[in-house]
Structure 1
Amino acid sequence: MTTFREHQLEQAIAGLPRVTLGVLPTPLEPLPRLSQALGGPPIYIKRDDLTGLGFGGNKTRMLELSLAHALEQGADTIVFG
């Protein structure tokens, strides 16, 4: 098993080819009333609804990587389900 340090992982991810589709990264939004109601630490929500596309964050990220890979392979037609 390969062990990565944080900076090594960031470099590996940054080196992946991408086709930009979304507005990323999306912001973290504090939820102070929920934090207060639960009497706990600060709670945040990741706003992947703000990627700019109707289908949300993880799908957008997957498509950015998949399309870049397909284009590198010379694909001229791509079908996603």
Structure 2
Amino acid sequence: MFSVTVADTGQITLPQAIRDYLNLDGGSKIDFIIDEEGQVRIIPLDVSVETLSGILYRPDRVKVTLEEMDVSISEWVSDWQ
């Protein structure tokens, strides 16, 4: 476990081990998320495309055409309005 001190300005310095683990460099962006259990999670936003490759792959996913996507979006929008 790592402990840090919050400055009067609200800033903290992330320990080097945490920055290394999350692959953060100077200028990296992160999100703080409070999950359903009340835990705060740090999510790095500077993620390479290679890291994301295949993240949405589902073997049971049905392929659709662009036209089918347009129809689906149009239907959703009309229901939403």
TM-score, normalising length from structure 2? 0.26
Considering fraction of residues, name the structure with more helix: 1
Larger Rg belongs to: 2
Considering fraction of residues, name the structure with more strand: 2
TM-score, normalising length from structure 1? 0.26
